[in-house]
């Protein structure tokens, strides 16, 4: 079997994973790469690609695997997407697909322009686009933070 899996994948639980597949495609341009359905046609497992990255989209399958919509909107992780296209247009595409924009696109001290949004079930996503090259020294000066491991 060919090794086609990304080295790190996030798995996100939804009450309605089929709807999630649709809004992730509409908002972010993710492409469905695998869909497994049970005998009743419900989504048992799915995977969506974004470049070389993969996100697994599934249903709520145990008490420990829930959508934020089922646990008072709480998130235990967020997902970050790095793009190389117009982030302002990307933000508007996400808004049109039904995402709530929590933070409009804004240039950060490290050279990325980012925005933050919440999907219809409450998962929080951050999207970034590098818009300027920044040295570690410049980022430290701009932020007042000490940065180690800057590549």
Are 138 and 85 part of one and the same domain?
Answer: yes
Are 12 and 55 part of one and the same domain?
Answer: yes
What is the CATH number for 21?
3.30.720.120
pLDDT of residue 7: 79
The answer as to whether 118 is a domain residue is yes
What is the CATH number for 98?
3.30.720.110
Q: Is the pLDDT of residue 136 over 70?
A: yes
Are 95 and 56 part of one and the same domain?
Answer: no
Q: In terms of residue numbers, what domain contains 105?
A: 78-144
Q: Is the pLDDT of residue 4 over 70?
A: no
pLDDT of residue 127: 97
Within the chain, residue ranges assigned H as helices are 17-28, 87-96, 136-143
The answer as to whether 149 is a domain residue is no
Number of domains, the chain: 2
Express as a percent the part of the chain with pLDDT over 90. 79
Per-residue pLDDT of 58-95, as tens digits, reads 999 898 899 999 999 998 889 999 999 999 999 999 99
Per-residue pLDDT of 31-63, as tens digits, reads 999 999 999 999 999 999 998 889 999 999 898
Q: Residue for token digits 């969506």?
A: 48
The answer as to whether 29 is a domain residue is yes
Are 48 and 99 part of one and the same domain?
Answer: no
């Amino acid at each position: 079997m060919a090794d086609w899996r990304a080295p790190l994948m996030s798995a996100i639980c939804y009450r309605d994973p089929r709807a999630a597949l649709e809004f992730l495609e509409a908002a972010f341009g993710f492409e469905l790469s695998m869909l497994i359905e049970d005998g009743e046609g419900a989504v048992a497992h799915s995977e969506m690609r974004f470049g070389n990255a993969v996100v697994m989209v599934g249903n709520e399958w145990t008490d420990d695997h829930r959508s934020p919509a089922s646990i008072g909107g709480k998130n235990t992780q967020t997902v970050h997407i790095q793009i190389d296209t117009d982030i302002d247009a990307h933000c508007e595409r996400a808004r049109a697909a039904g995402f709530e924009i929590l933070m409009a696109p804004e240039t950060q001290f490290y050279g990325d322009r980012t925005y933050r949004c919440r999907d219809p079930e409450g998962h929080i996503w951050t999207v970034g686009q590098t818009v300027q090259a920044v040295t570690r020294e410049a980022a430290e000066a701009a932020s007042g933070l000490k940065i180690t491991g800057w590549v």
